[in-house]
Chain A
Amino acid sequence: METSLPQFILVFGLFFLTIIAIVIFWLITKTDKIKELQAALNKMKGSFNELDQQAKLIVKTDLELNKAQEELDKRLAGLDALQKASRLISTTLDENEIFERLQQSLIVDLNFEKNLVLVYDDKKTLNEKVVVGFTPKEVSAIMAQLETNNAIVKDLKEGQTLSSAQIAKQKKETIIDLFNVDHFVISPILTQNGTIGIFFVGNQSDTLTVTVGDEEVISILANQIGQSLENARLFEQVFRSSQALELKVQDRTRELANALEDVQNISKMKSEFISAVSHELRTPLTSIKGYASILMTDKLGAVPEEVKKRLEKINHHSDNLVKLINDLLDIARIESGKAEMQMSAHNVANMVENVHDLLTPQMRDKNIQWAAKIDSNIAPAFVDSSQVERVFINLVSNAIKFTPINGTISVAAKQNDGMIDVAVSDTGIGINEKDLQRLFDEFYRVDNEINQNVKGTGLGLSLAKKIVEAHKGKIWVTSKLGTGTTFHFTLPTEAVKKS
């Protein structure tokens, strides 16, 4: 059976329509997919844009954080620099040194491009002390302007710190023009007496702004400079006063030294005079004593008893006079250094015992008790024993003289480092305070009843003092009226000789 053309066209048409329908259906499906994808893409774009918005927020926050951190770093660096600068300038009292150290600190630590420290002198004129980043010409112009610009100087004199971070526009522009900077801090240098100078720091670069933190740091540093300058100036005053005082002391010392030299010369002349006179006196005195002795022996014929008594007195007084002359000669010799000490090691206990043996009869006459407390561990004294025994004899004799019947005399000795401390004590009448001071003077005798009845030369203690001092020792006395007296003196040991 043959298919007719219309049938074929119908079948083909149906087929074509079916294909068209399928394509349309497929296209509709795809369009939905595209729409879905488009929607997803739009969503993604939205997310990206949202992400970008968030990123912008992050950047904004980050910028603020960076700025805050930079400010914090700057503050910390400023405080570090302040601490360092303060330490540097407060550890010197030299005004020039303060500025030198300040300059170092300003340049190395504070890092401002321009620095200027101006200080008023006695005539109230500004002087430059630290100049960094300005030419001499610029500094002169600035100083001239500051002398005339009352507004800025008035603020500074009132103690105000001015900074580009917070200042009225007009003043800001004036300072910017004057110092040729974009950012600045200018602070008065204050002391208790008011403003003594001006401290300026500034930056020309727009990137190096000045903050409130900088203002605080510079203000504190300016105060520190003021304080250091004040200290330096006070020190200078004290130093000058002390120098003047020192000069006066030197003058007085020189005068005293001259006076002392005069005294020593006079003393020497006196010693020489005494020595000469004593020698001259001793020769005729020996003759007088010799003739008196010969007469007393009746070799030149019998001498009546009355004459003999007088001759004995002549002899006795001659002995006293010889003793006096000998003492005077000894003192003169020791004073002039002519007396040669025969130094050697001696046991103090032995010396004390010798003296005790010698003076036992006198002590027995007054029933005086003797007590010797010589420390067994003391080193031998390095002394001229004959001279030191004279000291002991002198002191113990005096003690016997002034100690009443049944009293006690004690001698003690102990070692104190390289020296031996000796004390000779009695339970005598004691010496009043006034007499104590002159006790070792030549010819000085305490005015008391015993001395009035017992004759003496007044040279014994003086001689004892000279002997002790010739041994590099010291002698002194302590006493209480009615209780007793103690004479102390020191003697060297061999250890002292070696050292």
Chain B
Amino acid sequence: MATTHIGIGFSQEIDNEIAARNAAFAAKTQLNQDRIDFVLVLSTIHYDPKITLPIINRILSKSKVIGTSTAGIILADSIETRGIAILTITSDTIKFGIGSIQNIEDITIREEGMLLGGNSIADFGKMARQVFLYFIDSHTANNSLFLRGLQEVLGSLFPIVSAGSSDDFHYRNSFQIFQDQILKRSAVGVVLGGHTGVGIGGRHGWRPLGKPRIINKVEGNIIRTIDGKKASSIYEEYFGQEVEELRAHHLGRMSILYPLGIYIERSQEYLLRNAIDIRPDGSIVCQGDVPEEAEVHIMIGNKDACKQAATEAAEEAHQNLSGKEAKLIIVLEGMARLKLLGRMASSEIQKIREVFGPKIPIIGMYSNGQVFPFQAVERIKKPFFQNQSIVVLALS
């Protein structure tokens, strides 16, 4: 009989070694299997991976391990902004192929996306592929280009889900994990496949605000002008601050709470883009590509819209499973949602549990940028880079 075993361990002990040991043992104990096929490590930056990773690897030996730093860990019963969470999977039906790519350069980012896809497929072998999940350093300039590289290897319609590594909202300390290596400016990924069902759903819930504006001039992920004015004027008009002041103090906060929303015809939602930088000439640097001549708005979110988006994402993932029973839910959320929901952050997870049942194992993270299949102009779902979203990945 085909079986899949899931183990999730978590610890927030202060001591690095104790936390790693406790989380690994908890994941191993809950899994209750001698063989471990795949390990996902999510760690807040309070823990030094140089200390924790060797311990985790020693306890969960001979496994395929990937991981990332995060601003917060999502568990079935709580949201934790400090801790180490470990997911272990042993399965006769789900197969795993992992890969990594290091020292991502902005110029060759597309090629590096292709390399990551190639590495992972090589490790996976010739079986039916279902989904590709990857974690990437969110400081890389253009995640859309990286995604495009991946799609060239995996196929443009192949389901891809991704999360940008994050830290404690300082945007400087994120890291990735691949086997026994701790990586920076890198991407790590896993191809999941075999005889398993995958359901993906994603929403953000942010709504447009104010009059529509037109993006006049764009270079990839850099918006030069909006409505014939320098791009930063859109933020200056709303927040009444000069570029320098925005750059110096509040860009991160304003950008994640009020991202730019690009209207996509026939899409259910706007495409969101965080501004990661404002250049001296007033150009806005986004995390992903921006189309030229597109209609753009400042976007605004609220708690109810977030919860509604969580429900819709969970329902979409559930629907995509086509009646199969989910065995595990992986949740990838934008950091802004943690900021916006504050103490009510776990209410989104509650919504997911309402869809999948109260006993469903859940693990997830707050990330800086997400990728998930998104219905846009073509009427067919294609993976797109998004910000501020909640992505629900259900495995049966």
Contact surface of A with B, Cβ cutoff 8 Å: 48-49, 51-52, 54-56, 58-59, 62-63, 66, 69-70, 73, 76-77, 103-104, 107-108, 111, 205-207
Q: Which of A54, A103, A206 contacts B249 (CB 8 A)?
A: A206
Is the beta-carbon distance between A55 and B238 smaller than 8 angstroms?
yes
In the bound complex, residues from chain B placing their C-beta under 8 Å from that of A205 are: 170
Is the beta-carbon distance between A59 and B170 smaller than 8 angstroms?
no
Is the beta-carbon distance between A207 and B237 smaller than 8 angstroms?
no
B211 part of interface (Cβ distance < 8 Å)? yes
In the bound complex, residues from chain B placing their C-beta under 8 Å from that of A62 are: 257, 300
B359 part of interface (Cβ distance < 8 Å)? no
User: Which of B46, B81, B211, B258 is the most central at the interface, judged by chain A CB atoms within 10 Å of its CB?
Assistant: B211
Q: Decide yes or no: A108 and B82 within 8 Å by CB, A69-B342, A70-B342, A206-B249 being known contacts.
A: yes
In the bound complex, residues from chain B placing their C-beta under 8 Å from that of A108 are: 12, 14, 82
Complex CA–CA separation, A62 to B257 (angstroms): 10
B373 part of interface (Cβ distance < 8 Å)? no
Q: B394 to chain A: closest CB distance in Å? A: 30
Complex CA–CA separation, A48 to B213 (angstroms): 11
A contact face: mostly helix, strand, loop, or mixed: helix
Q: Decide yes or no: A52 and B211 within 8 Å by CB, A70-B342, A77-B343 being known contacts.
A: yes
Complex CA–CA separation, A55 to B297 (angstroms): 11
In the bound complex, residues from chain A placing their C-beta under 8 Å from that of B300 are: 58-59, 62
Q: Decide yes or no: A52 and B210 within 8 Å by CB, A73-B343, A207-B170 being known contacts.
A: yes
Q: Decide yes or no: A56 and B210 within 8 Å by CB, A108-B82, A206-B249 being known contacts.
A: yes
Is the beta-carbon distance between B298 and A59 smaller than 8 angstroms?
yes
In the bound complex, residues from chain B placing their C-beta under 8 Å from that of A104 are: 14
Complex CA–CA separation, A206 to B170 (angstroms): 9
Q: B253 to chain A: closest CB distance in Å? A: 7
Q: Which residues 218-239 of B have a CB within 8 angstroms of A?
A: 237-239
In the bound complex, residues from chain A placing their C-beta under 8 Å from that of B249 are: 206
28 A-B pairs (CB sep. < 8 Å): A48-B211, A51-B210, A51-B211, A52-B210, A52-B211, A54-B210, A55-B209, A55-B211, A55-B238, A56-B237, A56-B238, A58-B209, A58-B300, A59-B209, A59-B238, A59-B258, A59-B298, A62-B300, A70-B342, A73-B342, A76-B343, A103-B14, A104-B14, A107-B46, A108-B12, A108-B14, A205-B170, A207-B170
* CB-nearest residue of chain B to A62: B300
Since A103-B14, A107-B82 are in contact, a sample of 20 more A-B pairs with Cβ atoms closer than 8 Å, ordered by chain A residue number, is A48-B211, A51-B210, A51-B211, A52-B211, A52-B237, A55-B238, A56-B210, A56-B237, A58-B209, A59-B238, A62-B300, A63-B239, A63-B257, A66-B257, A73-B343, A77-B343, A108-B82, A111-B82, A205-B170, A207-B170
Q: Which of B14, B211, B238, B258 contacts A107 (CB 8 A)?
A: B14
Tally of B interface residues using CB under 8 Å: 25
In the A-B complex, list the 6 residue pairs whose CB atoms are closest, starting with the nearest.
A55-B210, A73-B342, A48-B211, A52-B210, A55-B209, A52-B211
Q: A360 to chain B: closest CB distance in Å? A: 84
In the bound complex, residues from chain B placing their C-beta under 8 Å from that of A54 are: 210
Is the beta-carbon distance between B210 and A207 smaller than 8 angstroms?
no
Q: A93 to chain B: closest CB distance in Å? A: 22
In the bound complex, residues from chain A placing their C-beta under 8 Å from that of B253 are: 207
Q: Decide yes or no: A59 and B211 within 8 Å by CB, A69-B342, A73-B342, A207-B253 being known contacts.
A: no
B361 part of interface (Cβ distance < 8 Å)? no
B340 part of interface (Cβ distance < 8 Å)? yes
Complex CA–CA separation, A48 to B81 (angstroms): 41
Q: Which residues 1-56 of B have a CB within 8 angstroms of A?
A: 12, 14, 46
Q: A29 to chain B: closest CB distance in Å? A: 32
Q: Which of A59, A77, A107 contacts B239 (CB 8 A)?
A: A59
In the bound complex, residues from chain A placing their C-beta under 8 Å from that of B212 are: 48
B252 part of interface (Cβ distance < 8 Å)? yes
Is the beta-carbon distance between A55 and B169 smaller than 8 angstroms?
no
Q: Which residues 81-99 of B have a CB within 8 angstroms of A?
A: 81-82
Is the beta-carbon distance between B239 and A49 smaller than 8 angstroms?
no
In the bound complex, residues from chain B placing their C-beta under 8 Å from that of A55 are: 209-211, 238, 298
Q: Which residues 267-323 of B have a CB within 8 angstroms of A?
A: 298, 300
Q: Which residues 237-266 of B have a CB within 8 angstroms of A?
A: 237-239, 249, 252-253, 257-258
In the bound complex, residues from chain B placing their C-beta under 8 Å from that of A69 are: 342
Q: B213 to chain A: closest CB distance in Å? A: 9
User: Which of B81, B209, B212, B300 is the most central at the interface, judged by chain A CB atoms within 10 Å of its CB?
Assistant: B209
Complex CA–CA separation, A3 to B262 (angstroms): 71
Complex CA–CA separation, A428 to B82 (angstroms): 86
Complex CA–CA separation, A77 to B82 (angstroms): 14
Q: A67 to chain B: closest CB distance in Å? A: 10
Complex CA–CA separation, A337 to B209 (angstroms): 103
* CB-nearest residue of chain B to A51: B211
In the bound complex, residues from chain B placing their C-beta under 8 Å from that of A49 are: 211
* CB-nearest residue of chain B to A70: B342
Q: A66 to chain B: closest CB distance in Å? A: 6
Complex CA–CA separation, A73 to B79 (angstroms): 14
* CB-nearest residue of chain A to B209: A55
Is the beta-carbon distance between B340 and A66 smaller than 8 angstroms?
yes
* CB-nearest residue of chain A to B46: A107
Q: Which residues 152-193 of B have a CB within 8 angstroms of A?
A: 169-170
In the bound complex, residues from chain A placing their C-beta under 8 Å from that of B82 are: 107-108, 111
Complex CA–CA separation, A70 to B338 (angstroms): 11
In the bound complex, residues from chain B placing their C-beta under 8 Å from that of A66 are: 257, 340
In the bound complex, residues from chain B placing their C-beta under 8 Å from that of A206 are: 249
Q: A87 to chain B: closest CB distance in Å? A: 17
In the bound complex, residues from chain B placing their C-beta under 8 Å from that of A103 are: 14
Complex CA–CA separation, A82 to B304 (angstroms): 29
In the bound complex, residues from chain A placing their C-beta under 8 Å from that of B237 are: 52, 56
* CB-nearest residue of chain A to B303: A69
In the bound complex, residues from chain B placing their C-beta under 8 Å from that of A56 are: 210, 237-238
Q: Which residues 330-352 of B have a CB within 8 angstroms of A?
A: 339-340, 342-343
* CB-nearest residue of chain A to B297: A55
* CB-nearest residue of chain A to B249: A206
Q: A98 to chain B: closest CB distance in Å? A: 16
Q: Decide yes or no: A207 and B342 within 8 Å by CB, A59-B209, A59-B258, A108-B14 being known contacts.
A: no
Complex CA–CA separation, A51 to B213 (angstroms): 13
Complex CA–CA separation, A104 to B15 (angstroms): 9
Is the beta-carbon distance between A207 and B169 smaller than 8 angstroms?
yes
Complex CA–CA separation, A70 to B258 (angstroms): 16
Q: A172 to chain B: closest CB distance in Å? A: 18
In the bound complex, residues from chain B placing their C-beta under 8 Å from that of A51 are: 210-211
* CB-nearest residue of chain B to A107: B14
Complex CA–CA separation, A58 to B298 (angstroms): 12
* CB-nearest residue of chain B to A66: B257
* CB-nearest residue of chain A to B342: A73
Q: Which residues 45-70 of B have a CB within 8 angstroms of A?
A: 46
* CB-nearest residue of chain A to B172: A205
In the bound complex, residues from chain B placing their C-beta under 8 Å from that of A111 are: 81-82
Q: B92 to chain A: closest CB distance in Å? A: 39
Q: B79 to chain A: closest CB distance in Å? A: 12
Q: A254 to chain B: closest CB distance in Å? A: 46
Q: B237 to chain A: closest CB distance in Å? A: 7
In the bound complex, residues from chain A placing their C-beta under 8 Å from that of B46 are: 107
Q: B167 to chain A: closest CB distance in Å? A: 11
Q: A27 to chain B: closest CB distance in Å? A: 31
